[in-house]
Amino acid sequence: MAFISGNSILLILFIWLASLVPHIHARIAEFDAYLEKQALEDLNSSLEAYTHNPEEVTNAFNKEVGNALLKYKSLRRNLKEKNKCMATNPIDRCWRCDKNWAENRMDLEECARGFGHKTTGGKNGKYYVVTDESDDNVQEPKPGTLRHAVIQEEPLWIIFEKSMVIKLQQELMITSDKTIDGRGVAVHIANGAGLTIQFVHNVIIHNIRIQNIISTNGGMIRDSVNHIGLRTVSDGDGISIFGSNHIWIDHCTLSECTDGLVDAIMASTAITISNCKFNHHNDVMLLGATDAFPQDSIMQVTVAFNRFGEGLIQRMPRCRWGFFHVVNNDYTHWQMYAIGGSAHPTIISQGNRFKAADNPNTKQVTKRDYAPESEWKKWQWVSEGDSFLNGAYFVESGPQDKKKTALTKNHKIKFKPGSHAGRLTRFAGVLKCKPGIPC
C-alpha cells in the first residue's frame, strides 16, 4: 500500500478513524463517554505520531547500528579491563556503560530508537517505588502496588523496592506517561493477567519477566484515578497494545502466555520492541488487528535486537497493513514460519540471522495469508543483509527497482550482514543489573 501523505489525506483518515470510535470496544463491556473521549484523543495522537517517510527512520537506525559495531570491535581489544561495558548495539550503548545508571535511571528515555524513538515514558515525573507485590483490589488499588502506580494521572517512573512475583488478578490497565523499570531487582509478572496499554501514549516497559499469563474473567477494573469500567474476558496476552502510540518495550523476557506475547492492534503506531527474549510460545507477536481493519495502515513498528529462541512456532512478527522494520534479530528453529503477514504490509528485513529447524517443510522464513501469488507479489517485502542457516530462505516481493535503493541511500556506514546478529542480541532479555557497575 502507498504511504499516507499530505494533510488532506491525514484529515480523511482521521475522520475515518474517528467514525469508528463508538465501535472499537476491545474487551470494554461499557464504552462510556470517558472511554470514547480517551479513544478519540489517542487516535488523533496516533495520527500525529505517524511518520510520512519511514525510510528516514530505518536509515537513521541502521547508521547507529554501524557505529555501535565499530565501537564494539574496538572494545574487544581491551577485554581484560575490569567492569568494561560490553554493550553491543546502539540502544544498549546509550545507557549500559554508565556505572551510575541507578542514579540516572531516567536517562534511559534518551535511548529509544526506531519508530518508538520519541517515547519518553515517565521522564520528568516523580519516582514511584513499588513496595507491595499484592494485587488484591483491582477497583481501589492499594498504595505501594504496581496497579496503584500505573493508574495515576501524572508522569511516573516506576521502580521496585525488592524482587517480587506479581500475580495480577485482572488486566493491568496502564495510563499515559509511565515507565515500568525493573532494573536492579527481579520482577516477574506471572501466573495471572497481563499488561494492557489501551487508548494511551508514551509508555516504556523495561527489564521485567512476563510468563504464564492466563485469560481472566473480567469485571469492574480501575483504569485511572478518575475512571472505573467493566471489562469482559481477557485474551491472555503478555502485553496488549490497543489504539496507543509511542510505546517502547525493551529488555523483557516473555514466554508461555495464553494468547500473544506482544500484540499491537487497532491503529497503534510509533512502537519499538527491542532487546527482548521470546521462548516457548505459539503466536509470538501480532502487529495489526484484522484484514478488515485498514486503519492499521498508520502502524509503524521497529522490531530490533531480539532473540526468538526455543519453542516458538509462528508470528515473529505477523503483520498487517503498516510498515515494519525487522532488524538485527536472531531467529532459531521456528516450527511453522518466522515472519508473516496479510493485507499488503511493508516488511523490511535487514541483518537478521535465520536458522531453520531440520524439518524440510519449515525452511521458509516468510508466510503470506489470504491472497493469491498474483496479489502478494505486489507487497513490498525486502530482505537485505540477512543471514540464512540450515536451508532457511526468504521470499521477497514488490517492485524490483525499490528493493535496494531506498533503504541504503545516504548510509555512511554500509549495513552489516546478519552474521552480526549474534553479538547484537547477545544481552537480549532481562539484565541482571547491579548498582555501581555498568549494567
* Cell 481472566 belongs to residue: 216
Asked about 315 being catalytic, the answer comes back as yes
Judge whether residue 69 has pLDDT over 50: yes
Could you count the other beta carbons within 10 Å of the beta carbon of residue 8?
8
For residue 121, name the pLDDT band (cuts at 50, 70, 90).
very high
- Class of domain 27-68+91-424 (CATH, top level): mainly beta
For residue 269, name the pLDDT band (cuts at 50, 70, 90).
very high
Query: Which one of 93, 96, 147, 315 is the catalytic residue?
Result: 315
For residue 115, which of 300, 376, 277 has the smallest C-alpha distance?
A: 300
For residue 52, name the pLDDT band (cuts at 50, 70, 90).
confident
Query: 255 pairs with which residues across the strands?
Result: 211, 279
Q: Which residues contact 422 (CB under 8 A, 6 or more apart)?
A: 330, 353
Arithmetic mean of pLDDT over the chain: 87
Judge whether residue 375 has pLDDT over 70: yes
Judge whether residue 417 has pLDDT over 70: yes
Judge whether residue 73 has pLDDT over 70: no
Task: Please give the pLDDT value at position 127.
Answer: 98
- Dihedral in degrees, nearest 10, Cα atoms 292, 296, 271, 60: 130
pLDDT digits (tens, 9 = 90+) for 101-112: 999 999 999 999
For residue 34, name the pLDDT band (cuts at 50, 70, 90).
confident
Task: Please give the pLDDT value at position 260.
Answer: 94
Q: Which residue has the higher pLDDT, 31 or 418?
A: 418
CB 180 within 8 A of CB 206: yes
Q: What 3 state SS string does 312-328 have?
A: EEECCCEEECCEEEEEC
Q: pLDDT over 90 for what percent of the chain?
A: 74
pLDDT digits (tens, 9 = 90+) for 122-134: 999 999 999 999 9
